[in-house]
Structure 1
Amino acid sequence: MKLPERLLLDRLAYLECVLGVLSFLVLRLARPPYGRYVPPSSAFQLPARVAWAVQELPSLVVPLVVCCCAETERLHSWPNRILLAMFLVHYTQRSLIFPFLIRGGKPTPVRTCIVAFTFCTYNGYLQSRYLSQCAVYADDWVTDPRFLAGFVLWLIGTLINIHSDHILRNLRKPGETGYKIPRGGLFEYVTAANYFGEVVEWCGFALASWSPQAGAFALFTACSLFSIAQHHHQWYIEKFEDYPKFRKTIIPFLF
């Protein structure tokens, strides 16, 4: 690995941190450009299943291409392999499974899909290129407390995210329309249980990786989802008079 590329990957990580802060500010001022916040009359929209699959797929395809083209001993290291697998497991579920489980999702504006597609390409390259070309871990890194704690957090976050999505999908019975208050799981404590799971997941990944690249992704995820969660929380409060007053926005008992 030549030093200039390592510097480039570090700078791309710092840029992702800046983008995360900007997304936090923009999403605080404007509603999320998808789902319940987009008028049905908006032009140039994609079906929810198509949009989700298309915009998330680069995070799976780009790392696979990067790793297939990489000729490096990094991919023979178990820490690197496990971290790459953690990233790929999430996006296999997100791009090949989750979209086809959606029930009657709202259409997504094409511009929103393009922005998400671009970010997933950017981040997919950043994470996979770093782990396949730059990251050097000791052979016993998989027993380091940071890796073990990070892996456990990643697994817990993944399970929370998948379970919360399952609850949201099953809110309506066949033939029903409209919105309902989510019940069960961490939805008993927060409005955005699915987002909480994803934030925990990528914070765990960052801890296990112990790298600026993974840390930048965790920061970007938290910044974006915290702002969106606040919009969701306010929307539920305004729409449902009986919405549980004790529920927090995204972090149980705190926020």
Structure 2
Amino acid sequence: MAIIQDWLPASQENYEKILFWWQLYPLLPSFQWFISWYGMGKTSVQSKFNIPGRIAWMTMEVPGFTTLLYIMSTLPAQHGITDLPWQNKVLAGLFVIHYTYRAVIFPIIQPSMSPIHVLVWANAIIFQVCNATCLGSWLAAYGPTTQEEWKAQNWSVLQFSIGLVIFYVGLTANYFSDEELREIRRSELRRQAKLKQQGRTVDKHYEVPQNGLFKYMLYPHYFMEWIEWLGYWIAAGGSCTPARSFLVNEFFAMLPRAVSGGRWYKEKFGEDKIKGKYVIIPGIY
């Protein structure tokens, strides 16, 4: 049963329309180069339009994998497809694995989360639904749906395997980079609790992460997420426009945040504290 007739799941005509506009998405986050405001994380500020961090994060990320799963379970039957190739199922599984961590586990295990502004929350939901609609539709019906169609794309098991390895390297490094940031927050919460017991004033404290990939860069969790989705695109094949668009859109959305964050670290801690570290792209910036 369609949630929105011909749109969710999308007809091929509407899928192509959504995909066309999805490829223009980089124009939207490019505005971040011209404004310093970003209503989440360490740049979150008090506002009556804020949503509690954990609730906002989960509700803005969950629509991604749930939309993809819904499309995968409904769209094939509309096109007379009784069974999808294993490649389609594995690629769908990788997406769900990533977002099970990102949307569900991540907000639960975070020691603390700053409020998220409703505009950031709404934009994230749009991003998730559009991305999942494009990827899910391609995997469910509008990409290769037989082994013959996969082979016709000059696809190979070796290529898929390489992409899979790169994906998991990115996913693992992303997790451990997140864990380093969580440990800093745990330490900060312990410090604040101790000060409260002593009846002293509790102020917000920040520090520069130093372990793991943070030895070399300020935003390894961003960079390794790019690596993760690069691996996904390689596994899906160069002709998978939705996978390519996802990677490009993540790059354009996250790069200005990292550049702004690099300036924040420099202003907060001084040049000496971050000397020798790249901001986000090793060997380049």
TM-score by length of 2: 0.81
Q: Tell me, in whole angstroms, the C-alpha distance in 2 between the residues paired with 1:90 and 1:232.
A: 24
**Contact between 1:20 and 1:219, CA under 8 Å: does it hold in 2?**
yes
CA displacement 1:42-101 (0-9 Å, x = unmatched): 112111111110000101211121122232537531010011111111111111100111
* 2:183 aligned residue: 170
**Structure number with higher relative contact order (C-alpha < 8 Å, ≥ 6 residues apart):** 1
Q: Which of 157, 162, 183 is residue 170 of structure 2 equivalent to?
A: 157
User: Partner of 2:281: helix, strand, or coil?
Assistant: coil
Residue identity (%): 26
2:114 match = 106
What letter corresponds to residue 64 of structure 1 in structure 2? L
Say if 1:9 and 1:213, in contact at 8 Å, map to a contact too.
no
Equivalent in the alignment of 2:230: 203
Contact persistence 1:10–1:212 (CA under 8 A): no
Q: Which residue of 1 aligns with 2:45?
A: 39
1:248 positional shift: 0.8
Change (3 A) 1:247 1:61: same
Q: Deviations over 1:123-143 (max 9, x none)?
A: 111111110112216378684
Residue segments in structure 1 that go unaligned for 5+ positions in a row: none
How far is 1:233 from its partner?
Answer: 0.9
User: Retained in 1: the 8 A contact 2:72–2:139?
Assistant: no
The aligned counterpart of 2:31 is: 26
Alpha-carbon RMSD across the aligned residues, in angstroms, is 2.0
Looking at structure 2, the residues matched to 154 and 9 of structure 1 have their Cα atoms a distance apart, in angstroms, of 26
**What residue is the counterpart of 2:210 in the other structure?**
183
Superposition pairs of residues 53-72 of structure 1, within 5 angstroms: 53-70=58-75, 71=77
Residue 122 (str. 1) matches residue 130 (str. 2): yes
Larger deviation, residues 70-79 vs 178-187 = 70-79
Determine if contact 1:19/1:220 at 8 Å carries over to the other structure: yes
Identify which range, 119-128 or 161-170, moves more after superposition: 119-128
Bigger CA drift: 26-35 or 137-146? 137-146
- Encode CA deviations 1:149-196: one digit per residue, 9 max, x unaligned: 221111111111111110001113124442111111111111111101
Q: How does 1:90-105 map to 2 (within 5 A)?
A: 90-105=98-113
Supply the distance in 2 between the matched residues of 1:7 and 1:205 (Cα, whole angstroms). Answer: 25
For structure 2, the 5+ residue unaligned runs are: 1-9, 193-203
SS of corresponding position for 1:125: helix
The count of aligned residue pairs is 250
Kindly provide the amino acid, as one letter, of the partner of residue 194 in structure 1.
H
In structure 2, the residue matched to 1:17 is 23
Residue deviations 1:25-57, cap 9 Å, x none? Answer: 2111113232222322x1121111111100001
Contact 1:74–1:132 (CA<8 Å) still a contact in 2? no
The secondary structure found in structure 1 opposite 2:24 is helix
Q: Distance in 1 between matches of 2:104 and 2:113?
A: 16
Contact 1:74 1:80 in 2 (8 A): no
**3-state secondary structure, aligned to 2:266:** helix
Partner of 1:254: 284
CA distance in structure 2 between the partners assigned to 1:138 and 1:76 by the alignment = 9
Letter in 2 for 1:101: I
